């Protein structure tokens, strides 16, 4: 099973980072990822087509 690292930008501090995605977790996933730089909670929504990421959004959690 491929577990791609997906690169995105923090919506709070604009720092680029990558997150390890688990394609076995379902076609549509949403989770909170704490920014490694500013420690703010980033709400991530990801959608897969097989092992391919077809939609990825990272926005501030409110
Ligand atoms: Zn940040």
| C-alpha to C-alpha distance for 4 and 10, rounded to whole angstroms | 18
Distance 55 CA to ligand 1 centre (A): 21
Looking at residue 2, its pLDDT comes to: 59
Q: Does residue 52 sit in helix, strand or coil? A: strand
Distance CA 42, CA 57 (A): 10
For 17, residues 6+ apart whose C-beta sits below 8 A from its C-beta are 7, 8, 9, 10, 35, 36, 37
From the CA of 58, how far away is ligand 1's center (Å)? Answer: 11
Kindly report, residue by residue over 15-62, the tens digit of the pLDDT.
Answer: 999 999 988 999 999 999 999 999 999 999 999 998 889 999 999 987
Residue 3 has pLDDT above 70, yes or no: no
Domain ranges within the chain, ordered by starting residue: 5-60
The alpha carbon of 1 and the centre of ligand 1 are apart by a number of angstroms equal to 29
Determine the distance separating the centroid of ligand 1 and the alpha carbon of 43, expressed in angstroms. 12
Q: What's the predicted TM-score (pTM) here? A: 0.84
């Amino acid at each position: 099973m491929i577990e791609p690292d997906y690169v995105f930008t923090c919506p709070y501090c604009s720092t680029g980072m990558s997150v390890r995605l688990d394609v076995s977790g379902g076609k549509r996933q949403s989770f909170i990822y704490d920014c490694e730089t500013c420690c703010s909670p980033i709400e991530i929504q990801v959608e897969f087509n097989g092992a391919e990421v077809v939609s990825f959004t990272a926005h501030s959690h409110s």
